[in-house]
Amino acid sequence: MGEQETRTTPAPVVSAREALEFLIRAGFVLADSLDYEQTLAHVVDLVVPQIADWCGVYVAADADGEAHEITSRHVDPEVEQMLLDIRRNRREQRGASETLQVLQTGRSILATDVRETDASDLDERQRRVVLRLGPRSYLIVPLRARGRVIGALTLLSTREGRHYREQDLAFAETLGERFALAIDNARLYEERASVARTLQRSLLPPVLPDVPGMELAARYVAAGEGNEVGGDFYDCFRTGDGEWAVVIGDVCGKGAEAAAVTALARYTVRASATLHSDNPRVVLQDLNDAIRREAAHNRFCTVLYVSLSLHGDRVTGCVAAGGHPLPLILRADGRVETVGLPGTLLGILPAPEIRPQELTLRPGDSLILYTDGVIEARRGHELFGEARLRDVLRSAKGASADEIAGAVHRATIEHAGSTDDDLAILVVRALSAP
């Protein structure tokens, strides 16, 4: 009986046990963030140097038909920029790459043993680096999420004796699926957050107007993760010759439906105020009717409307509240007063109770409008509260409108750490007569 020939199958770079442990760890790391750039950083940090000496992530081809590298990492940071330049030059000179092939076909590429490295197109310094660090083996796998290829993942080994095998290719493809889903989730989240921010900006005045005899300032903070539109809003606009209106409100809920009511409230108030600038009760009644007629079921809001006009060295006006916290006046001598009479929510009853009250601001006096996100900011079970707000205002005696708004904002955030509700602050300060 002759001797039986035995062959040893080369071991994969990553064993089955290591692959399972790595996938579990990767799942926890990738689930830790929905930030797009941070997720990409997590991808390359996970891979280098445990699985690859160099890792690159590419997105689908652009209009010029070329793959676009969005992040990469080499085990040796000192040569990373040089390698990036070499790859960019080679793509420009040689056209289509294997990465682009994977992006276009969705099929992986495995190079088990790279015997030679072409460095003829490089300068002497680059040639030395490439010959020293040139690939021994590499993998390029598609990043496929939700039925489409969104990118490609390249893993490259420059170590003598570390060559990728078919088992490594199967592992890399599984890893690519995990990476792709995390990257796509982060991308979708960022797109949604960007849309929300854009819509939020459209519901607030881009800048506050210059009002003769008055100084205005505002602060706005949206609560939550930043991917939903908040319901707080404020506005300031001219209603007639020498007449102005300042408005602040809070729509129930968040998201698209709340944004629709916010837009309805802001523009209904603007339209009605141009016709009834001297009658705040009518303005808020018109808004109440519009919400009941146009808004989704059970949508309501609170609104504070103040008409203002300059008379000599005084600012006079009228305040009307539709279920909103009443404004405060910080007098020039440091006294803090409440102005206005409570009213009922808008959008619920056909005839809400609205009781306008006149106000007067003398030089140095400031009118502070705010939403309930300020006084209801919590530290545990402790509310920020109106008493603390009054203390903040007293300490801001003699401050500008912007300084007052900033002081209220800082005190609220310092108390709560973060806010569970949106908050808006609008300050109007009467200036001395020129």
CA atoms in the 13 A half-sphere facing the CB of 53: 19
- Quick one: tokens of 115? 């015997």
Strand partners, 247: 235, 305
Gap between the Cα atoms of 167 and 408, Å rounded: 60
The topology under which CATH files domain 203-430 is Phosphatase 2c; domain 1 (3.60.40)
Return the closest-CA partner of residue 175 out of 51, 38, 37, 13.
51
| Token duo for residue 19 | 């692959």
Report pLDDT for 241.
86
Boundaries of CATH 3.30.450.40 in the chain?
16-195
Looking at 134-229, list the stretches that DSSP marks H as alpha helix, in order from N- to C-terminal side: 166-202
**How far is it, in rounded angstroms, from Cα 363 to Cα 421?**
33
pLDDT at 6: 44
Kindly give the residue spans of alpha helices, DSSP state H, lying in 106-165. 124-133
* Whole-number pLDDT of residue 94: 41
In DSSP terms, 248 is beta-bridged to 234, 304
Domain 16-195 falls under CATH 3.30.450.40: yes
Query: Along the chain (434 residues), what's the average pLDDT of each consecutive run of 10 residues?
Result: 49 80 81 77 82 82 61 70 57 58 90 64 58 73 91 84 87 90 85 69 85 95 62 91 93 76 90 90 95 76 95 93 97 97 94 96 97 90 94 96 97 84 92 72
Whole-structure pTM value: 0.65
pLDDT for position 263: 86
CB atoms within 10 A of CB 337: 12
Produce one character per residue of 101-111: b if its CB has 16 or more CB atoms within 10 Å, e if not.
ebbbeeebbbb
Structure token pair of residue 18 = 């290591």
Q: Which of 72, 91, 82 is nearest to 133 (CA)?
A: 82
Q: Provide the pLDDT for residue 4.
A: 46
Q: 346 and 291 in contact (C-beta within 8 Å)? A: yes
CATH 3.60.40.10 range(s) for the chain read 203-430
Q: Where are the alpha helices (DSSP H) in 58-123?
A: 77-94, 98-105
User: Which of 409, 333, 417 is CA-nearest to residue 368?
Assistant: 409
pLDDT at 78: 65
